[in-house]
């Protein structure tokens, strides 16, 4: 659906050259929710502006649905942009227009007849959950309602791709979840490809199928969201995973573990998918002569399944501890012994 090859964007200032996007390549499949995550200054916003050609790339190509966007004339690019919807962090609504008129605006520009506009706008108002608010003005709406208007407007011309630029960053957690649920619903109903940039791993965890991690203009890690949660390789990726899972190894609690649990073994368990439903600890306590202390644990859900970690202490005869570890390794649960202790 979207193929990006060697994409770069260099900005020149009076004193220096800034490479905001640096030789970036990735592929996004049709119907996928693809997340791009990075901290401030990573190049995320420049990248998404390159995708719809609000910025011209310095180097590289963007192919969308077999059409090379970087080779289009201005006239053809205007037509191509009608197949790319975009929603923004701060909504970018027209404050003097009602909800209905905001959603209708791109259809007016595209020359759609009044009757067809009315039908399409009413469909979209219902789709995004704003029935009865068509005559309201943006100043009369909550933040979440404003973003729903922004989503409806972005969908007006039946785009093939929806770009989301920090679409939930200005919202409270509960409203964020409702907007993310709406995006999942739209993705499933319309088979719409969604590219979402964010600095919040919660957003990636909740709705994305694939994720790319950006740092200093480059993609430093990418893959299936669950795989990235399980095996983050780069330091920046580990920091993002810690946003959701927490990291007792970096907290004072790990020092307490070191100080207070000096016997036996400290074990870190990784649960994935159906293994999160296993009664593993109670099973081990019945099978082996061990004292078991649960020290820390958390389970979270991704689009591809559940993922969890747990720190436990096994105290008893070393041979019995080793037998218990062998038993766990025979299941689908991953084991790490004495993690950084």
Q: Which domain holds residue 281?
A: 248-337
Q: Are residues 213 and 141 in the same domain?
A: yes
Mean pLDDT of the chain: 88
Across 26-30, 308-312, 334-338, which has the greatest mean pLDDT?
26-30
Q: Which residue has the tokens 């200093």?
A: 216
pLDDT at 254 over 60: no
Q: What integer pLDDT is reported at residue 266 of this predicted model?
A: 85
Q: What is the pTM of this model?
A: 0.80
Residues 256, 157 share a domain? no
> Does residue 176 or residue 244 have the better pLDDT?
176
**Confidence band of 82 (pLDDT split at 50, 70, 90):** confident
pLDDT at site 261: 58
Same domain, 129 and 199: yes
Give burial (CB, 10 Å; 0-12/13-18/19+) of 40.
Answer: exposed
Please tell me the distance from the alpha carbon of residue 30 to that of residue 113, in angstroms, as a whole number.
30
Indicate the residue among 183, 212, 243 that finishes a domain.
243
Which pLDDT value is given to residue 207? 93
Tell me, yes or no, whether 108 and 216 share the same domain: yes
* CATH number of the CATH domain containing 275: 3.30.70.260
Has residue 341 got a pLDDT over 50? Answer: no
Q: Is the dihedral of CA 149, 97, 156, 169 positive or negative?
A: negative
Alpha helices by DSSP H, 191-316: 201-207, 225-230, 235-245, 252-260, 280-287
As for how many domains the chain has, the answer is: 2
CA distances from 154 to 16, 29, 37, 109, 128 (A): 36, 20, 22, 13, 11
Please provide residue 57's backbone torsions phi and psi, each rounded to the nearest 5 degrees.
Answer: -70, 150
For residues 133 and 164, membership in a common domain is answered with yes
215 and 329 co-located in one domain: no
- 180 with 305, same domain? no
d(CA 153, CA 84): 12
SS3 content of the chain, % helix, strand, coil (to 5): 40, 30, 30
139 and 18 within one domain? yes
Rounded distance between C-alpha atoms, residue 143 and residue 131, angstroms = 16
Does 274 lie in the same domain as 129? no
pLDDT tens digits along 182-208? 999 999 999 999 999 999 988 998 999
Report the CATH number at residue 158.
Answer: 3.40.50.300
Question: What's the first-to-final CA gap in the chain, in angstroms?
Answer: 46
Q: What is the mean pLDDT of residues 16-29?
A: 93
In whole angstroms, give the CA distance from residue 327 to residue 264. 17
Structure tokens at 11: 């900005």
The residue among 243, 258, 285 that closes a domain is: 243
Q: What is the Cα–Cα distance from 273 to 19, expressed in whole angstroms?
A: 40
The Cα 30–Cα 318 span in angstroms is 52
27: helix, strand or coil: strand
How would you list the strands of the sheet with 67-68, edge to edge?
17-28, 2-12, 59-64, 67-68
Final residue belonging to a domain, choices 214, 243, 272: 243
Task: For residues 26 and 164, state if they share a domain.
Answer: yes
Least confident of 151-165, 214-228, 310-324: 310-324
| 237 and 313 share one domain | no
Whether residue 26 is found in the same domain as residue 55: yes
Question: CB-side exposure of 284: number of CA atoms within 13 Å?
Answer: 28
Nearest 5°: the CA angle 243, 249, 255 is: 135
pLDDT greater than 50 at residue 244: yes
Q: Residue 265 — very low, low, confident or very high, per pLDDT cuts 50/70/90?
A: confident
């Amino acid at each position: 659906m979207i193929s990006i090859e060697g994409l770069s964007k260099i900005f020149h200032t009076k004193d220096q050259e800034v490479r905001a996007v640096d030789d970036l390549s990735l592929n996004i499949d049709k119907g996928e929710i693809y997340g791009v995550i990075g901290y401030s200054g990573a190049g995320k916003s420049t990248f998404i502006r390159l995708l719809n050609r609000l910025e011209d790339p310095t180097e590289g190509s963007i192919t969308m649905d077999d059409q090379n966007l970087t080779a289009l004339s201005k006239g053809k690019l205007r037509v191509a942009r009608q197949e790319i919807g975009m929603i923004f962090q701060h909504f970018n609504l027209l404050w003097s227009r009602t909800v209905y008129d905001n959603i209708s605006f791109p259809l007016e520009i595209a020359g759609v007849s009044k009757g067809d506009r009315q039908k399409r706008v009413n469909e979209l108002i219902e789709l995004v959950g704003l029935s009865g608010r068509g005559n309201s003005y943006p100043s009369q709406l909550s933040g979440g309602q404003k973003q729903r208007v922004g989503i409806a407007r972005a969908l007006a011309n039946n785009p093939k791709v929806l770009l989301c630029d920090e679409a939930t960053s200005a919202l409270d957690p509960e409203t964020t979840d409702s907007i993310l649920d709406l995006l999942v619903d739209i993705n499933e109903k319309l088979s719409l490809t969604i590219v979402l940039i964010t600095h919040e791993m919660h957003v990636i965890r909740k709705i994305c199928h694939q994720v790319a991690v950006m740092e200093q203009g480059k993609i430093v890690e990418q893959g299936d969201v669950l795989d990235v949660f399980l095996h983050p390789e780069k330091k920046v990726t580990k920091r993002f995973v810690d946003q959701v899972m927490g990291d007792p190894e970096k907290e004072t609690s790990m020092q307490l573990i070191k100080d207070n649990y000096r016997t036996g073994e400290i074990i870190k368990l990784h649960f994935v998918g159906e293994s999160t439903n296993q009664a593993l600890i109670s099973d081990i306590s019945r099978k082996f002569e061990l004292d078991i202390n649960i020290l820390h644990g958390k389970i979270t859900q991704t689009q591809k399944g559940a993922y969890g970690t747990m720190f436990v202490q096994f105290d008893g005869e070393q041979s019995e501890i080793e037998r218990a570890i062998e038993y766990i390794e025979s299941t689908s649960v991953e084991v790490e012994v004495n993690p950084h202790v």
